[in-house]
Amino acid sequence: MRIPLSRLPLRGLFAIIVRLPQYIRLSFRLLFESRVPWHLKLFYIGVLLYVVSPFDLIPEAIFPPLGFAEDIVLYLVALHNLIKFSPSDVVKEHAEQLAGKPDDPPPGTAV
């Protein structure tokens, strides 16, 4: 019996992993955007520093799977918060630029 891909519970996680490079590029664009609230940027940068620092709540040396999972979950939460709570027009603008879509169509063209 084949299970359709749409019914798999990890489909959402797979979609996030596939798009993670695009989300990371978007997050760095949002970090340098003046219209994004400073507290979102501060939280994201703080989590980035925590992830790369040798000090952890759950050390990788003692509990490797849990330590790495903790870092990944914290990073994904910070990334999600940065994108979700930034102004939607700013996120859309940068996402379209990353996708290669022009902001406005050239004059004289039909949309």
The listed range with the strongest mean pLDDT (36-40, 70-74, 95-99) is: 36-40
Domain that includes residue 60, residue range: 34-97
Q: Tell me the backbone φ, ψ of residue 53, rounded to 5 degrees.
A: -75, 155
| 10 falls within a domain | no
Tokens of 18: 């596939």
* Mean pLDDT for the stretch of residues 4-26: 75
For residue 45, being part of any structural domain is answered with yes
Give the number of domains in the chain: 1
Domain annotation covers residue 42? yes
Is the pLDDT reported for residue 69 higher than 70?
yes
Q: Is residue 1 part of a domain?
A: no
pLDDT of 6 higher than 80: no
pLDDT one-digit tens code per residue, 77-111: 999 999 999 999 999 999 999 988 765 555 565 55
Q: State residue 6 phi and psi, 5-degree precision.
A: -70, -15
